[in-house]
Amino acid sequence: MTIQEWLNNDQLGIDIWEKKYRYNNESLDEWFDRVSGGNPEIRRLIVEKKFLFGGRTLSNRGTNRGSMSNCYSHGYIEDSLDGIMDAAKNIAMTYKAQGGQGLSLSKIRPKGASIAGKFKSDGIVPFMEIFNTVTESVSQGGSRKGALLMSLDINHPEAETFMTIKSDLNKINKANLSMEIDDDFMNRVISGDSEANRLFNILCTQACKYAEPGVIYTNRFRNYNLMEFVDSYQIETCNPCGEQPLAKHSACNLSSINLSLVLPVTLSIFAYKLSKLPYLTNKLIAVFSPIPLTPGILSDGSPANAL
């Protein structure tokens, strides 16, 4: 089979495959073997276009040149200079390995807060600018620009600054921004609390004008998920695109199922069978990671420390 036959002469798809996912001039059959890890059942599903791994797995599986996970979570940034600078290094190393990062600024003290009883904090904005500059400066393995999401609790004293910072199109233009909103805040909005309504109106206005910030409804986000009964899996933020809630120092493993080919076969049965394939449940055990991952709390529950 040729790539033209597999993609039905879709030139855009062919160009993407050749520029993004083909390694060292490999043939299509060699590519199938590489990305499936030699697993015949996985290979068949990919050939039949019923299943496909995320981009980093397609690009890097079996090459030792980068991460097989698309994105990572740093979680809460520690409220210390060491913690902030460690985060900057971690996101840079993640971009180098072709991954993206999500992080929360909610624990960082606001502008004007005391530091050691002698100084005043400059707040979150200078550190947002540092993370933005790192994202702008470090490409993802030389193949694409870095991907970053920064989130902030709407109860943080600098929430308004965070929400409106992109009104200046020259500021923080290399990161997605999202507000962390809990049920208590939304109940205050519904009950007519003036400050809550003021902030919510700013949020809606900015989202309408600039398409940001997004919203993370934290009660649902952190408490209603497949890992909610695992006490060690405490969700803090998400990946840059926002589709995967993540614990601190964990990774999201993206894949896709072609529903048009799976249905009318019962999807739940297909997904169950897919989950039982060894390569899927263990695909991160031997994968390179750009940053230390918390053992045992990858987004699929797979071990993260056997690198």
Domain boundary among 250, 272, 296: 250
Q: Is residue 291 part of a domain?
A: no
Tokens of 296: 């045992």
Domain boundary among 209, 231, 250: 250
Q: Is residue 190 part of a domain?
A: yes
How much is the pLDDT for 303? 41
pLDDT category of residue 144 using cuts at 50, 70 and 90: low
pLDDT category of residue 289 using cuts at 50, 70 and 90: low
Backbone φ and ψ for 271, nearest 5 degrees, come out as -65, -40
193-223 confidence digits (pLDDT tens): 999 999 999 999 999 999 999 999 999 888 8
How much is the pLDDT for 178? 96
Spatial CB neighbours of 237, under 8 Å, sequence gap ≥ 6: 73, 74, 75, 76, 102, 103, 104, 149, 151, 180, 216, 245, 246
Catalytic residue among 18, 48, 228, 243: 243
Statement to judge: residues 225 and 183 lie in one domain: yes
pLDDT (average), residues 110-115: 89
State the chain's mean pLDDT as an integer: 84
What length does the chain have?
Answer: 307
Statement to judge: residues 191 and 169 lie in one domain: yes
Statement to judge: residues 13 and 61 lie in one domain: yes
Give the domain extent around 32: 3-66+253-281
Statement to judge: residues 119 and 157 lie in one domain: yes
Q: Is residue 292 part of a domain?
A: no
Rounded to whole angstroms, the Cα distance separating 35 from 62 reads 7
Statement to judge: residues 98 and 223 lie in one domain: yes
> Which CATH number does the domain housing residue 246 bear?
3.20.70.20
pTM to 2 decimal places: 0.81
Statement to judge: residues 268 and 238 lie in one domain: no
Q: Is residue 122 part of a domain?
A: yes
Residue among 53, 106, 48, 99 at smallest CA distance from 76 = 106
Statement to judge: residues 162 and 263 lie in one domain: no
Rounded to whole angstroms, the Cα distance separating 175 from 147 reads 7
Q: Is residue 218 part of a domain?
A: yes
Distances (CA, A) of 292 to 53, 87, 297, 307: 23, 12, 12, 10
Statement to judge: residues 120 and 136 lie in one domain: yes
Q: Is residue 298 part of a domain?
A: no
Q: HSE on the CB side for 21, CA within 13 Å?
A: 21
Statement to judge: residues 116 and 31 lie in one domain: no
Statement to judge: residues 29 and 78 lie in one domain: no
Catalytic residue among 239, 252, 282, 305: 239
Statement to judge: residues 163 and 266 lie in one domain: no
Active site (annotated) includes residue 70: no
Does residue 236 register a pLDDT over 80? yes
Q: Is residue 290 part of a domain?
A: no
Number of domains in the chain: 2
Active site (annotated) includes residue 223: no
Active site (annotated) includes residue 241: yes
Statement to judge: residues 15 and 144 lie in one domain: no
Rounded to whole angstroms, the Cα distance separating 186 from 176 reads 22
How much is the pLDDT for 292? 64
Q: Is residue 183 part of a domain?
A: yes
pLDDT category of residue 86 using cuts at 50, 70 and 90: very high
